[in-house]
């Protein structure tokens, strides 16, 4: 009995300690905003703030979408270890992105359409349950390359980082995400070719248009990306013929304009029943049928 009381006291103080940590970080978060979001105040409990969800005193969800917020977020936001959903998109946050490295609770992270200055090192480590990652439209971010640590995010469904100053090549590991359906890396400075591992991927939406110097090589790998529905590759330096895409039976939107493609429009393209929207303007020598 004594042992039981001791044990429950221990568990109780452990829970209290963790909630106290969340309270301190939430107070810091509130203080970091240049103006407080509506429904947030240091005179009420953080679990009662508008669009904050808690589970037994621990923060699981924070949603502050398009609220004209600015400021630099506290670097220890990642100590909210029970956080599952963080939606901070469409504000004007600056400074480094908050890091949630090795967070196994985080499932949805929206930091897009802000003014972050950098991605901290280790940012992509150990995000094993992350399903949705939106970083797009942070124009002033320090140039970065896609790190190998991203492969640890094995649960990824959608990854968007368009217009975020990415340079270097597309890594050859996108076939290793069993459930990745959306990859959006448009308006960056990616160079090199489409990786072979795209062939084994389940990607449906592929957005790689408008790279500064242009992606190059052929797009032959698309013919084995059978789940594709939308492919935007315009304004790059791709070459070669349009491949046989007849196994891409869900394809409806294919945008290939402003590249260096040559040859004839293959008959097989016309046989894709789902295809609705095709653009091939401004290529080298695409013969009309």
Ligand X SMILES: *[C@@H]1O[C@H](CO)[C@@H](O)[C@H](O)[C@H]1NC(C)=O
Residues of the shown chain interacting with ligand X in the complex, contacts defined by CB under 6 A: 31, 42, 44-45, 48, 92, 94, 101-102, 115, 117, 122, 125-126, 140, 154-155, 167-168, 178-179, 189, 191, 212-213, 223-224, 244, 246-247, 253, 255, 276-277, 279
Q: How far apart are CA 112 and CA 160, in angstroms?
A: 9
Q: How far apart are CA 234 and CA 246, in angstroms?
A: 21
Q: Which is nearer to ligand X, 7 or 45 (CB)?
A: 45
Q: How far is the CB of 44 from ligand X (least distance, A)?
A: 5
Q: How far is the CB of 3 from ligand X (least distance, A)?
A: 33
Q: How far is the CB of 97 from ligand X (least distance, A)?
A: 13
Q: How far is the CB of 152 from ligand X (least distance, A)?
A: 9
Does residue 255 sit in helix, strand or coil? strand
> Which residues face 52 on adjacent strands?
62
Burial of 46 (C-beta count, 10 Å sphere; 0-12/13-18/19+): buried
Q: Which is nearer to ligand X, 155 or 193 (CB)?
A: 155
- For 219: left if phi > 0, alpha if psi spans -120 to 50, otherwise beta; the answer is alpha
Q: Which is nearer to ligand X, 8 or 245 (CB)?
A: 245
Does residue 113 sit in helix, strand or coil? coil
Q: Which is nearer to ligand X, 223 or 262 (CB)?
A: 223
């Amino acid at each position: 009995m004594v042992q039981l009381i001791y044990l429950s006291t221990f568990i109780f103080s452990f829970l209290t300690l963790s909630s106290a940590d969340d309270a301190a970080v939430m107070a810091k978060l509130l203080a970091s905003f240049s103006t407080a979001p509506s429904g947030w105040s240091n005179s009420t409990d953080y679990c009662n703030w508008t669009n904050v969800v808690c589970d037994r005193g621990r923060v699981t969800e924070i949603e502050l979408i398009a609220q004209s917020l600015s400021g630099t977020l506290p670097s220890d936001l990642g100590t909210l270890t029970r956080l599952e959903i963080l939606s901070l998109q469409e504000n004007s946050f600056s400074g480094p992105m908050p890091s949630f490295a090795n967070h196994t609770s985080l499932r949805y992270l929206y930091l897009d359409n802000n003014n972050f200055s950098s991605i901290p090192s280790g940012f992509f480590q150990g995000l094993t349950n992350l399903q949705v990652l939106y970083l797009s439209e942070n124009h002033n971010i320090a140039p970065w390359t896609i790190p190998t640590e991203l492969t640890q995010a094995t649960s990824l469904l959608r990854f968007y980082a368009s217009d975020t100053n990415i340079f270097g090549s597309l890594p050859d590991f996108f076939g290793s995400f069993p459930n990745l359906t959306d990859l959006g890396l448009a308006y960056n400075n990616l160079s090199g070719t489409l990786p072979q591992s795209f062939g084994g991927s389940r990607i449906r939406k592929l957005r790689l248009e408008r790279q500064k110097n242009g992606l190059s090589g052929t797009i032959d790998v698309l013919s084995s990306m059978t789940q594709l529905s939308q492919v935007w590759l315009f304004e790059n330096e791709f070459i070669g013929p349009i491949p046989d895409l007849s196994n891409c039976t869900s394809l409806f939107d294919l945008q290939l304009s402003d590249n260096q493609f040559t040859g004839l429009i293959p008959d097989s393209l016309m046989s894709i029943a789902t295809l609705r929207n095709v653009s091939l303007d401004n290529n080298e020598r695409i013969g009309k049928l």
